[in-house]
Structure 1
Amino acid sequence: MKAISYARYGGPEVLEYGEADDPKLGPDDVLVKVRAASVNPVDWKARQGHLDAILPAVFPVIPGWDLAGVVVRPGPAVPEFAEGDEVIGYVREDVLSFGTCAEYVAAPVRTLAPKPRGLSFEEAAGIPLAGLTAHQVLHRVLNVRRGETVLVHAAAGGVGSVAVQLASHLGARVIGTASEGNHDFVRALGAEPVSYGEGLAERVRGLAPEGVDAVFDTVGGDALKASANLVAPEGRLASIVDPGVTGYGGAYWFVRPDPADLRKLSELADQGVLRIHVEETFPLERTADAHRRSEEGHVRGKIAITVPQEVSPSGA
């Protein structure tokens, strides 16, 4: 099969397009024909070696954890899916090795859920990591409730744009930080936009004089420091990028695969509650360019990777 891989840590130049071994299907796996994947910042951070302490690499590594595709064959212990089912997945395992930037993936069934019927494969591929992160932080960490005020940082980004929509659906008032050019986009998602940078705390205080009930940090650094002073008494603070949040009395969260959560997100997408904005799409062979674009930052929504439709792998 065709795939993107890297044999050592490094910059985008280590990504190579070529032939890779077809995946082996385990009892609890589902062989999926990948139609689209997506790029998340964690993908290039992993490629640079920053995750080696917690997710060691077994080279060559095929990058990517998000996918949308079609079931080719379920493993013998998988009654949940059948050939031809359309699925989405957050296919993260315990090491970096077999990712989703490939024609085929043997995905553990615990990482999959039905694809939303109303979304394209490119849009659907943007749900898993970003959607699970937003859903789990809002429900498991921040426990956001109707009528509360939630501050979401980088509200136009992949995780932030989903968090805004989900928090709004929960009945919360949402304030979202974003660049001036993304204010209309953030407003359309359901948040009150504020510009980030110097003076952020004063701008948020202007909208929420008593402070906010919850902060969803996707940025870290100065934004996290400012956020600690914006949380109302009994408020909650969570970060997905900076473990130092615990020093401010908050919680750090690293997303985990959860098929029930992923199925819920798929249902919300079918109900029109959740929309995925795809800013740019790259073919599989240009995954290095997709990584470069992600590393530049300021991506509105998601970057998708499309995978060519060719012959089935041997034995499929």
Structure 2
Amino acid sequence: MVSSPHEAMHRIFQEYPGLFSRVSEVLGVHIPPPTSATVLPNDLTENSPVERRVDTLLRIDTQHDGPFLLAIEAQGKKDPRKTTSWPYYVSYLHNKYGALPVLLLIVCQDHTTAQWAATPITIGLRQWPTLTLNPLVAGPHNMPVITNVAEARKDLALATLAAITHADNPDVGAILKTLSAALREAPDNIAEPIAELTAQGLGNRPAAQQWRNLVAVDTSFYKSFMSEEIRDEGRAQGRAQGRAQGQAEAQAKSLLLILDARSIALTDALRQKITACTDSPLLNQWLQRAATATTADEVFTPDH
């Protein structure tokens, strides 16, 4: 089953195709900014029972260097099958699109997977390799740690990808706080997809709750499913608290009725103690004692 972080790590390039030129710069490869970008079908299946799909496939057009194909794979862990599927993707795209150069970008969230993904894949004999695949790899080992709000604001897409790839960084709280602060001044149509992609990219890691807490502080800039989910949780919590309070009030009333019916005298302080109590198990304990008690001490003194 495809995970949320997996989807976020490649879908962000569909949302912001120009992001690749900044990522490639971070990776030490000069790719000029695109003049346009087109999302292409990612189905690389031939007329055979084997189905192959690259996560995201973009046609990137540049002003001076011409167009090229960018195949993006989000990789959450080592997978030996990729050593055969990745060369297939590149050779298939090279065959299908002919004159267009093909680049493969692997996006990871941990150092071990990134190091594995960056290893060249060689096909052929040891003495004479027929084909060597050199993917570009973006991950926590080379993506910037952005903790400056002004820097994040200058390139929100790169800041988002950096936050996703650093999801397990001990300083991820500072990274997410920076991104959240940068988004507060962004228009809704920019802030909403970025906030959602960030939540998706963090998956079920502890950092995801940190992000939810940051978004919950001020959801005015973010109205997508996550903020609505936070509001729903708040409403549900409020309903649960209301039910608990109602139960405690009913128990307190029942306790007073039983004590009055059994002619057990209560001081004003004890009546206040009963009506102010919101501890349902404690009220239930008092109710059980009241059924057999003859004095107030037998109800409220722990030794009885």
Give me the TM-score of the superposition, normalised by structure 1: 0.26
Higher strand share: 1
Of structures 1 and 2, the one scoring higher in RCO (CA 8 A, sep 6+) is: 1
Bigger radius of gyration: 2
Give me the TM-score of the superposition, normalised by structure 2: 0.27
